Amino acid sequence: MAGKVFAIDFGTSSLKIYRKDEGVIFNEKNIIAISDNKKICAIGDDAFEMYGKAPDNFSVTYPVKNGVIADIQNMLSLLNTAFSKISEKSGKITGADIIVASPTDITEVEKRAFFDLAASSCAKPKRVRVVEKPIANAVGAGLDVLNANGVMIVDIGADTTEISIVSLGGIVLSKLVRIGGNKFDDSIISNVRKTNNLIIGNKTAETIKKKLAYASDPQHDSLKVFGRNVMSGLPTEAEITTEFVYETLAENLHVIADAVHMILEKTPPEIAADIIDNGIYVTGGSANIRNIDKLFEKETELNVNIVPDPENTAVNGLGKMLEDPDKYDPLILSLRHTFYGG
């Protein structure tokens, strides 16, 4: 049965699947391309290459938005195609045991959708369980979530930032802020158009963010980018600097820092003492923004730890749960939002 135990992280930006004893076996963009005859043309990284370039008769979309499943049918098609790829390489996967990660600060219906997707997939699982994502992140960060030592996790994802206080295997406090990496990209697109009269795409904005973004103390650097001139409509180029990107992202980053501050104000005193000792743990793709730890340290006066490999913290945490069931199964089973398949 070990070969048929999977963990799934339905991220807004990426879909990640972990297989027991093998590690992460699928890690691609959570995007699907469908033609007008409803045929699936591509999923994952292949579909991402088509994003912004496909003709009108193609629909290239992300089924997960703001951390929840916005398009269940396309997400199911994408998941089934991913499982089919896995089956072609590794053999039969039906009758699997699956755990999936779900955000905390969403409705019960939205949480149930994660369970229903896995249960309805071509893997035909015998059992599906749902783990709250902050728990998976804490385990993936190497923290002991089973003891009484409280920890704060700040997960800056693609569409949302989830700020959570975890203790004794449960969520003490949680807040979902609708700001993430995509919002940063949108701000860059808007400001480049306003300042340089240049229209750029999402991929270009993401490249700018990865190469030039600083949350604090920006070091001077620049990047030439290409786009379409607003006035002439012709392709042209512009030079973007780190200072420009820093000013563009500052407001959104401070909104996240203010939310962290707000959660700290509501934290029980005993847990607050633990956070003072342990610091804050930051994960998610945008944890890679340079000096984001310095920004949070300045705003909170606490130590800030950037989790290694922050994009994959949740799926790695789910993987640890699969690899050590004696330790983590009781934790999963005791969760308030666990569902069971039949």
Distances (CA, A) of 104 to 107, 156, 264: 8, 14, 18
| Strand, helix or coil for residue 99 | strand
Average pLDDT over residues 98-124: 90
pLDDT score of 2 = 52
CATH architecture of 190-213+222-247: Alpha-Beta Complex (3.90)
Contact at 8 Å (CB) between 146 and 166?
Answer: no
Q: Which pair of tokens denotes residue 309?
A: 């490999």
More confident site: 208 or 59: 208
CATH topology identical between 2-137+312-333 and 190-213+222-247? no
Question: Which ranges of 43-131 would DSSP assign to H, the alpha helix?
Answer: 44-50, 72-90, 108-120
Residues 112-130 have a mean pLDDT of 91
338 pLDDT band, cuts 50/70/90, is very low
- Contact between 45 and 31 under an 8 Å Cβ cutoff? The reply is no
Per domain, the residue ranges of the chain are 2-137+312-333, 143-179+249-311, 190-213+222-247
Region 118-147 average pLDDT:
92
Q: Say whether pLDDT at 21 is over 60.
A: yes
Residue 95, C-beta contacts closer than 8 angstroms, at least 6 positions apart: 4, 124, 125, 126
In which band, very low, low, confident or very high, does the pLDDT at 89 lie, cut at 50, 70 and 90? confident
**pLDDT of amino acid 7:** 95
Which homologous superfamily is 143-179+249-311 in? ATPase, nucleotide binding domain (3.30.420.40)
Output the six-digit token pair for 276. Answer: 């003072």
**Quick one: angle between helices 202-212 and 242-266, nearest 10?**
80
Neighbouring C-beta atoms of residue 124, cutoff 10 Å:
13
pTM above 0.85, yes or no: yes
97-102 sheet: strands from edge to edge = 23-29, 14-19, 5-10, 97-102, 127-132
Looking at residue 159, its pLDDT comes to 94
- pLDDT above 80 (res 126): yes
pLDDT tens, position by position, 246-298: 999 999 999 999 999 999 999 999 999 999 999 999 999 999 999 999 999 99
Looking at domain 2-137+312-333, which of 1.20.1260.10, 1.10.3720.10, 1.20.1250.20, 3.30.420.40 is its CATH number? 3.30.420.40
The string of pLDDT tens digits covering residues 303-312 is 999 999 999 9
By the 10 Å C-beta count (0-12 exposed, 13-18 middle, 19+ buried), 319 is classed as buried
Mean pLDDT across the chain, nearest whole number? 91
Q: What was the pLDDT predicted at 337?
A: 38
pLDDT of residue 330: 64
Mean pLDDT throughout 85-108? Answer: 88
Distance of CA 68 to the CA centre of its chain: 11
- pLDDT the model gives residue 340: 41
CB 130 within 8 A of CB 115: yes
